[in-house]
Amino acid sequence: MRNIYPFGKAPFVILIIAIISGIVFCGMRINELRKAKERPDLIMAFQAEIHEELYREAVKKFVEDKNNYIVDEKTGELRPPRIILQRVQKEVLMDWLQAAMQTGYDVPDLVELLEGTIGYFTRGRIENVGFVDLTEKLRAEELLDEKNIVTSRYSLWSSRGHIFAIPHDVHPAGLCYRVDLIKKLGIDVSQLKTWDDFVRVGQQVTGEWEETDKALGIEKGSKRYMIDFADDSTISLQILFTQRGCDFFDEQGNVAFNRPEMAELIAWFVHQTRGKNLISFPAGDGQNFYQAMNSGRQLFFLTPDWRSKQFSFDNPKQQGNLALMPMPVWSDKDGKILPHTYLSGPWGGSGLAITKHCKNQDLAWKFAKFLYTDATNEEFAYRFQKTNILPPIKRAWTAKELQEPSNFYMTMQDDNGNLLRDAEGNMTAEKLSIGKFYSSLADKSNGVAPRYVTAYTSQAETQFLNVYYAARAFYEKHEGEKDVDERMMALIKEGLAEKAAYIEKLIRHNYFLSAEKEENAAAAAKTEPAAAAKTEPSAETNGSTAETTDAAVSAADASGVY
């Protein structure tokens, strides 16, 4: 042994293991590089499980269509494109994308992003955003026109007037409730028009169930709340404040949550979730949530289109017993609807982006359009049946399948919002077309509120929640004392101002944004005199939404503010 290797047996074994593992590693790496050379024409990454089956079918159709054939680099002949779909868990997708964008290695060509995630990639100079700017492509396809698409959904995927993804969905939230419980309690849902109405009824019904009813799943003495508002995240608050016409940031990316409407909303939310007159308690998620729904703990649930499908999957025993209605709207003390409010606030969203690393950008755009905007109404209808998700393309809403009554969901109101009654005058329910229901919320200029996402949205959420938590703690401690509401309001306003200043400081800390802003301001100062001379004083607009969207894009572009 000593003659072969002078250091003894153990080091010899270690050396052999090292050599073997080295060979295996090199072999794997070579294999990887060989595979990389055989890279497909497009790799699309996404996270939603429910989309997988639909996208696989779509890819099949796309590659079979001879109009989508591409010229093979080696042979020069036309061939079907090779497209690979990669479904990755949400957090992993983000980690992968962040690392890939940073290093430029293994970047997918198309990515289906989730609501809020684009902010991470738009935190630098606009030209450094790792996604292709789709604004002009969308304009050319008339997809910035409100008559074709719900343009408010671009807000999720835009930064400084540039759009980086095509919206997949609308996700307007409505309210879901159990018909049997509402009948038992005698709640006239047609009277729940404003949030004030809702709270008034909520205060009457929040309490305990008076008797056990096994058929309804309720037990005597168990708690009953009017609604499920999550108070450990911004989910419910966000739906409510976007419906109220507020947001963390404005269209230009400026911090916008330090305003009286937001303060009023936080105070309102505190009253609904804490204190003697509360009407809400969080139902939680997963099994806890369905336990709450089935035991009558909460009566109403915020429900966007995607969640309605989830309920039917996870809680089939409520088939024919769950109904949907629009969210109440915001009004003043006289019941007059407040200006700048919407019928619904959105919850969630996905968008398809093309990365700048994509080598076949024309093919990627063609595929993205095929998937999201150019699909036939039959395809949209098929996807809707599988997911209940309302596409933002308005043409798709006319599909027969979207108009048909659902087998799962009911309504207790007619088309005019009046309560349905049977021949004997009792409250009744009939099947609801959920396609019609959700599209009716989305098909108006004040339908679905926009939601603007920046690099600092998640920080704004944290800071905003902290204001709510502070107000909640204050109210719990001082409820019943003199001027408690005034003092709480002062605390909220002070908190919002402080937290908004903190976010503004965070933004100023960002060297790239600040430098870009200064450069844009300098450029604007140079061009302003010339532009002023050219501007005709009597220029008018016709006020159409399409023009508003385009104008907003240009305005944000020029202003260079965030």
Partner 1 sequence: MSANIQKSKGGPDRHPVAPWMFLAPYLLYAAVFFAYPLLYAAWLSFHQTDGPTSVFVGFQGEYDNFMFIFTDPRFYKALLNTTIYAIASICIQLPIALGLAMLLNNSNSRMKGAFRLMIFSPNLVGQIFVGVMFAVIFTPFDGLFNKGLQTLIGWGIDKQWLQDPNLLLPGLIIISLWMYVGYNMIYFLAGLQSVDKQLLEAAQIDGANGWQTFLHITLPQIKPIAIFVVIMSTIGSYQLFDLPWALMKGQGFGPGDSALTIVGYLYDWGFRNGEHGAASAIGWILAAIIFVISILQLKLTRAYEVD
What binding mask, one character per residue, do residues 410-449 give for partner 1 by CB under 8 A, x or -?
----------------------------------------
Cβ-based nearer residue to partner 1, 465 or 546: 465
Q: Using alpha carbons, list the distances in angstroms from residue 311 to 293, 306, 366, 542.
A: 10, 9, 34, 43
**CB of 129: closest distance to partner 1 in angstroms?**
9
Residue 231 as a binder of partner 1 (CB under 8 A): the answer is yes
- 543 backbone φψ class: left, alpha, beta (φ>0; ψ -120 to 50): left
Instruction: Extract the tokens encoding 481.
Output: 């004392």
Query: Which one of 68-76, 99-107, 153-161, 389-397 is the stretch in contact with partner 1 (CB under 8 A)?
Result: 99-107
Out of 292, 323, 363, 371, point to the residue binding partner 1 (CB under 8 A).
292
Out of 68, 70, 88, 124, point to the residue binding partner 1 (CB under 8 A).
124
CB under 8 Å to 255, separation ≥6 — which residues?
Answer: 248, 249, 456, 460, 500, 503, 504, 507
Cβ-based nearer residue to partner 1, 106 or 374: 106
Cβ-based nearer residue to partner 1, 352 or 471: 471
Integer Cα distance of 268 and 263 in angstroms: 9
Integer Cα distance of 355 and 97 in angstroms: 10
Q: Using alpha carbons, list the distances in angstroms from residue 97 to 21, 124, 235.
A: 29, 16, 25
CB under 8 Å to 222, separation ≥6 — which residues?
Answer: 208, 209, 295, 296, 297
Out of 257, 456, 474, 562, point to the residue binding partner 1 (CB under 8 A).
456
Instruction: Extract the tokens encoding 262.
Output: 């937001």
Going by C-alpha positions, the residue among 375, 376, 377, 355 that lies closest to residue 364 is 355
Cβ-based nearer residue to partner 1, 357 or 431: 357
Question: How far from chain centre, in Å, is Cα 234?
Answer: 12
Residue 505 as a binder of partner 1 (CB under 8 A): the answer is yes
Out of 89, 288, 418, 445, point to the residue binding partner 1 (CB under 8 A).
288
- 355 backbone φψ class: left, alpha, beta (φ>0; ψ -120 to 50): beta
Residue 318 is given by DSSP the state G
Residue 104 as a binder of partner 1 (CB under 8 A): the answer is yes
**CB of 452: closest distance to partner 1 in angstroms?**
17
Residue 21 as a binder of partner 1 (CB under 8 A): the answer is no
Residue 12 as a binder of partner 1 (CB under 8 A): the answer is no
Residue 223 as a binder of partner 1 (CB under 8 A): the answer is yes
**CB of 120: closest distance to partner 1 in angstroms?**
5
Query: Which one of 201-209, 403-411, 466-474, 526-534 is the stretch in contact with partner 1 (CB under 8 A)?
Result: 466-474
The per-type count for the chain, helices as H runs and strands as E runs, is 19, 16
Residue 509 as a binder of partner 1 (CB under 8 A): the answer is yes
Beta strands 223-228 and 298-304 are: parallel
Residue 275 as a binder of partner 1 (CB under 8 A): the answer is no
- 133-146 in b/e burial notation, b at 16+ Cβ within 10 A? bbbebbeebebbbb
Residue 277 as a binder of partner 1 (CB under 8 A): the answer is no
Size of the site for partner 1 (CB under 8 A): 50
Query: Which one of 50-58, 409-417, 469-477, 520-528 is the stretch in contact with partner 1 (CB under 8 A)?
Result: 469-477
Query: Which one of 95-103, 153-161, 335-343, 553-561 is the stretch in contact with partner 1 (CB under 8 A)?
Result: 95-103
Query: Which one of 46-54, 68-76, 147-155, 276-284 is the stretch in contact with partner 1 (CB under 8 A)?
Result: 276-284
Residue 123 as a binder of partner 1 (CB under 8 A): the answer is yes
Q: Is residue 555 helix, strand or coil?
A: helix
Cβ-based nearer residue to partner 1, 272 or 411: 272
Out of 89, 418, 445, 462, point to the residue binding partner 1 (CB under 8 A).
462
Cβ-based nearer residue to partner 1, 428 or 459: 459
Integer Cα distance of 293 and 217 in angstroms: 9
Residue 338 is given by DSSP the state P
Residue 25 as a binder of partner 1 (CB under 8 A): the answer is no
**CB of 97: closest distance to partner 1 in angstroms?**
12
Integer Cα distance of 21 and 38 in angstroms: 26
Q: Using alpha carbons, list the distances in angstroms from residue 20 to 4, 11, 29.
A: 18, 14, 14
Residue 130 as a binder of partner 1 (CB under 8 A): the answer is yes
Cβ-based nearer residue to partner 1, 100 or 156: 100
Q: Using alpha carbons, list the distances in angstroms from residue 351 to 118, 163, 304, 556.
A: 9, 11, 17, 21
Out of 200, 340, 508, 526, point to the residue binding partner 1 (CB under 8 A).
508
Cβ-based nearer residue to partner 1, 125 or 139: 125
Count CB-CB contacts under 10 A for residue 252: 18
Q: Is residue 280 helix, strand or coil?
A: strand
The answer to whether 119 touches 455, Cβ cutoff 8 Å, is: yes
Out of 459, 520, 545, 548, point to the residue binding partner 1 (CB under 8 A).
459
**CB of 255: closest distance to partner 1 in angstroms?**
15
Residue 278 as a binder of partner 1 (CB under 8 A): the answer is no
Residue 337 is given by DSSP the state B
- Residues 72-91 binding partner 1 (CB under 8 A) are 91
Query: Which one of 55-63, 231-239, 396-404, 482-490 is the stretch in contact with partner 1 (CB under 8 A)?
Result: 231-239
Cβ-based nearer residue to partner 1, 11 or 260: 11
Integer Cα distance of 1 and 180 in angstroms: 85
**CB of 124: closest distance to partner 1 in angstroms?**
3
CA angle 367, 106, 74 (to 5 degrees): 65
Q: Using CB under 8 A as the criterion, which residues of the chain lie in contact with partner 1 when the complex forms?
A: 2, 6-7, 11, 18, 91, 98, 101-104, 120, 123-125, 128, 130, 223, 231-233, 281-282, 284, 287-288, 291-292, 297, 455-456, 458-459, 461-462, 465-466, 469-470, 472-473, 502, 505-506, 508-512, 514
